Amino acid sequence: MKILTAKQTQDADAYTIKNEPIKSIDLMERASQKCVDWLVNKFDKTVSFNLFCGVGNNGGDGLAITRMLKQKGYEIIVYCVHFSEKHTPDFDTNLSRIKTIGINPILLTEKEHQFILSQKTVVIDAIFGSGLARPIDGFVAEIIHKINNTDVDIIAIDMPSGLFSESNINNNLENIIHANYTLTFQQPKLTMLFPENFRFVGEFEILDIGLHQEFLNNVNTSNYYLTLDFIKSIVHQRKKFSHKGNYGHALLIAGSEGKMGAEILSARACLRTGVGLLTILLPKNGLQIMQTAVPEAMCICDEADNYISVLPNITSFDGVGIGPGLGKEKQTQNVLKLLIQNSTHPIVIDADAINIISENLTWMPFIPPQSILTPHPKEFERLVGKWENDEERLEKQKL
């Protein structure tokens, strides 16, 4: 699933409105209905809602949600956070609609913004959405602080108010809603996937609101979110009369003294993910434990007792993985260098193989295209240096 910027999301809305075609107010209705479906499935009618809406389209979503929840028999109080005299047309349309069913929002302004929340209520945050590009301040920040400091569940619509969709380096992190759940539209936002933002986002649910598939297929992005549906689509059912020879032959280069467990775990993982044949290059002292723990694997014993010292002929293998428990002996480092220089296929580089590369960064340009590096945070730090937050870490990865 593609991760879009705020601008691309706005473009997707506009493309859908033009090419489906659908009116913007009806697209808002569709998005709001998806939110209501989730809320009704999550909360029974013993729960009352307090919804805080802004005066833009996120607020319009909130007002449509209000009307739908009321029509389903839920108790709901609406607060309109009136931070601007400029309303979007769809907000005004939904404001008129809720008034026709007897709901009149309580106006929160700079002069008067007091409210009381019961601990038995659920707050719905629809003040600002994914289009926000400036830090929140003033009385709106005071409202957010009060909501955050009350022991209630908070459901954010599209984005927690105050959180930017992409970079939050220049944001005021003190003035952001702390949601328990975020109901985001169509695609996840990049900022939701940074661990430091979990306190704002909570658990997030991606709601398909039917944005035009042609736009989503053609839009360019360098960031993707892997979903279970996508994984299922690339795992193919095996043919009835196929056999292990039809599913590739992998070479795993792993293990050293005191780290044989890592090669066992990685061998089992390799077989579990579907490789047909697996050969393991391992130190002599690892042979007995490997053939006992993973009898399905074939083994090549290195001439050294406790580490890998020689790279075998790799031309007969369809893929090579290197690194788990490998150690960093001088001869082992040379094995990795020769593998990088001679492999005609992408390779999987893990653990100590990454640590070796971090000490020999001039090897990086020679790693075969489409190879996969799998560092944990400390190994990644050795490769690229320290970072202040995960947003910065992502930028370092692109370099």
> pLDDT tens across 27-38, in order?
999 999 999 999
pLDDT of residue 397: 87
> Kind and range of the H or E element at 278?
strand 277-282
CATH superfamily label, 246-398: Ribokinase (3.40.1190.20)
Q: Position 306: which residue type? A: N
Angle at CA of residue 289, ends 287 and 292, nearest 5°: 105
Please write the tens of the pLDDT for every residue from 226-264.
Answer: 999 999 998 888 999 999 999 999 999 999 999 999 999
Sign of the C-alpha dihedral, residues 345, 350, 353, 354? Answer: positive
Q: Position 63: which residue type? A: L
Q: 106-108 and 298-301 as β-strands: parallel, antiparallel, unpaired?
A: unpaired
Please write the tens of the pLDDT for every residue from 52-64.
Answer: 999 999 999 999 9
Are 6-232 and 246-398 the same fold in CATH? no
Which of 127, 129, 130, 152 lies closest to 141 in space, CA to CA? 127
Percent of the chain with pLDDT over 90: 96
CA distance 303 to 300: 10
Beta-strand (E) ranges in 141-223?
Answer: 153-157, 181-185, 203-207
Q: Look at phi and psi of residue 28 and say left if phi exceeds 0, alpha if psi is from -120 to 50, else beta.
A: alpha
Mean pLDDT estimate for the chain: 96
Please write the tens of the pLDDT for every residue from 79-118.
Answer: 999 999 999 999 999 999 999 999 999 999 999 999 999 8
- Residues facing 397 on adjacent strands: none
Mean pLDDT confidence for 115-141: 95
pLDDT of residue 119: 81
> Which residues neighbour 5 within 8 Å (Cβ) at sequence distance 6 or greater?
165, 166, 190, 221
pLDDT of residue 151: 93
pTM: 0.91
CATH superfamily label, 6-232: YjeF N-terminal domain (3.40.50.10260)
pLDDT bin (cut points 50, 70, 90) of residue 399 is low
Could you state, in order of their start, the residue ranges of all structural domains in the chain? 6-232, 246-398
- Length of the chain equals 399
Angle at CA of residue 115, ends 110 and 117, nearest 5°: 145
Number of helices and strands in the chain (H, E)? 14, 13
Percent of the chain with pLDDT over 70: 100
Please write the tens of the pLDDT for every residue from 143-186.
Answer: 999 999 999 999 999 999 999 999 999 999 999 999 999 999 99
Mean pLDDT confidence for 281-306: 97
